[in-house]
Amino acid sequence: MTMLEIIEKKKLGKELTKEEITFFANGAAEKTVPDYQLSALLMAIRLNGMNYRETTDLTLAMRDSGDIADLSGIPGIKVDKHSTGGVGDTTTLVLAPLVAACGAPVAKMSGRGLGHTGGTLDKLESIPGMNVSLSEEEFIRQVKEIGVAVIGQTGHLAPADKTLYALRDVTSTVDSMPLIVGSILSKKLAAGSDAIVLDVKSGSGAIMHTEEDSIKLAETMVEVGALAGKPIIAVVSGMEQPLGTHVGNALEVKEAIDILAGKAGGDLLEVSLMLGGYMLLLAGQAETPEEGQAKMKAAIDSGAGLKKLKEMIAAQGGDPLVCDDVTRLPQAKVIREVTCGRAGYVQKMDTMALGMAAQAMGAGRLTMDDKLDYSVGFVLQVRIGDQVSEDTPLCTLHARSEEDAEKAEQAVRAAIRIGDEACDRAPNFIAVVMKNVLVRLGEEDQ
């Protein structure tokens, strides 16, 4: 077979065979197929789609294009969590220690932020001394000893995705359902966990902006997971506003610590408990997700969750005392309080614009080589649906300079609409998707 024949076939909307898909994935991983031909097939897939069987074959071929982590030496059912990306999404820093404190081993490989979305590794590296570059042997040993580790990708996992991801970004094929599924699941399957909980974001700060598209993505990933022999549960959650109130690396670590210490709650805690309930269910540590949530609440109340975070930070070379004194985290030079400036109701947030505002302050990167300022970002004081006055605090900016603070204030104000009409609060949960099961969650389920 040739790459030209494969492109021609998909261009005409025909199904590709497993062998043809494997040829494509291996060509991407080994750089034996030129970028222009890979790009042509990516566009053909974007325009004509793939069925579940093709998408599964693509996912597995991308998984098998490199190493597959062997976590069999870790006792118990290893459960992973993956979010499709958002702003103020600090669930991993809450969930990893909390789920581990409830008896489920968490061996998690995470990523860095790019664009308007934050990255778990960047947040962890805002903790002085924290090392996220463990070898696979060190990674496995740490999980066996303390039950949790969160690190960067080890080895040569899913190299086909690395090539195709870069091409998708410059060929307008990022929004292709089978390519999104293949990219996410190939890495998750290669990472070696026994079961996966997916947090599929929906809204202005997500890769999928509509509820129906988000549910379709969740259903596709659950179905492909089943065909690949991996149990997956997907929660479709809202991203019409930042999930947490804190946006920025060290600020998000502070919020996670506050939640584990029982000092904070809100939407970030709600979503973390929902996801963690299903993680404990899949790990065999709870009979129902509700039981799992109750266990996690107890671990917060007892201090077990925060203690586990301290253990993980210390094991990875970081300063565990940040959990007792958050001022040991990087601190911004300029802190500015911003008020709403008018009375009314918070009606809408452009979550992507808020993420980009934090990025422009130095909290995010445009290219993977950009250097971050871990101290900067902002803390939002309002949520959609809130009634506010002119003097109600809107946000607290943490900036490198007064000039940066001024620009950030303008960007945050432009991203948040305050109007005269009252409006509903933004829902945290839209649906839960399991194999052959779709449960839509309405206001009464919130």
CB 107 within 8 A of CB 146: no
Q: 159 and 10, same structural domain?
A: no
Same domain, 156 and 303: yes
Is the residue at 446 inside a domain? no
Number of domains in the chain: 3
CATH number for position 169: 3.40.1030.10
| Marked catalytic residue, from 168, 188, 254, 310 | 168
- Is 161 catalytic? The answer is yes
pTM: 0.92
Confidence of residue 208 (pLDDT cuts 50, 70, 90): confident
- Which pLDDT tens digit goes with each residue over 87-122? 888 999 999 999 999 999 999 988 776 666 668 999
445 found inside a domain: no
Residue 325: partners with Cβ closer than 8 Å, 6 or more residues away: none
Catalytic residue among 9, 116, 187, 254: 187
Say which range, 152-161, 316-325, 425-434, has the weakest mean pLDDT: 152-161
Does residue 99 contact residue 130 with C-beta atoms inside 8 Å?
Answer: no
Residue 232 sits in the same domain as residue 351: no
Q: How far apart are CA 15 and CA 6, in angstroms?
A: 10
Residues 6+ apart with CB under 8 A from 157: 66, 67, 68, 69, 109, 187, 190, 191
Together in a domain, 194 and 88:
yes
Separation between Cα atoms, residue 292 and residue 275, nearest integer Å: 10
The answer to whether residues 345 and 321 belong to one domain is no
Nearest to 355 by CA among 213, 201, 217, 236: 201
Is residue 72 assigned to a domain? no
Residues 321 and 342 in one domain: no
Based on the fold, state whether residues 151 and 182 are members of the same structural domain. Answer: yes
The first and second tokens of residue 208, run together, are 């999928």
Angle made by CA atoms 6, 12, 16, in degrees to the nearest 5 = 40
- We report the CATH number of the domain holding residue 54 as 1.20.970.10
Answer yes or no: is 128 within a domain: yes
285 residue type, one letter: Q
440 tagged catalytic: no
Domain boundary among 22, 39, 63: 63
Cα 427 to Cα 85: distance, rounded to the nearest angstrom: 17
Q: Is 18 a catalytic residue?
A: no
Q: CATH code at 375?
A: 3.90.1170.30
Task: Please name the helix (run of DSSP H) or strand (run of DSSP E) that holds residue 83, with its range, or none.
Answer: strand 79-83
Candidate list 161, 194, 267, 350, residue with the active-site label: 161
In a domain, residue 239? The reply is yes
Shared domain for 101 and 168, answered yes or no, is: yes
Residues 124, 178: Cα–Cα separation, whole Å: 31
Q: Is residue 342 part of a domain?
A: yes
Same domain, residue pair 142 and 33:
no
Last residue of a domain, one of 16, 34, 63: 63
Range of the domain at 335: 330-419
Tell me whether residue 168 is one of the annotated catalytic residues.
yes
Q: Which of 65, 110, 183, 237 is catalytic?
A: 183
Considering the domain architecture, whether residues 118 and 212 belong to the same structural domain is answered as yes
Residues 56 and 100 in one domain: no
- Whether 69 maps to a domain, the answer reads no
Strands 195-202 and 334-339: unpaired
User: What's residue 112's pLDDT?
Assistant: 75
Same domain, 16 and 107: no
Residue among 82, 123, 295, 308 flagged as catalytic: 82
Residue 71 lies in a domain: no
* pLDDT for the residue numbered 438: 92
**354 neighbors 87 (Cβ within 8 angstroms):** yes
Mean pLDDT of 27-51: 96
Annotated catalytic, 10?
no
Spatial distance between the Cα atoms of 240 and 22, rounded to a whole number of angstroms: 38
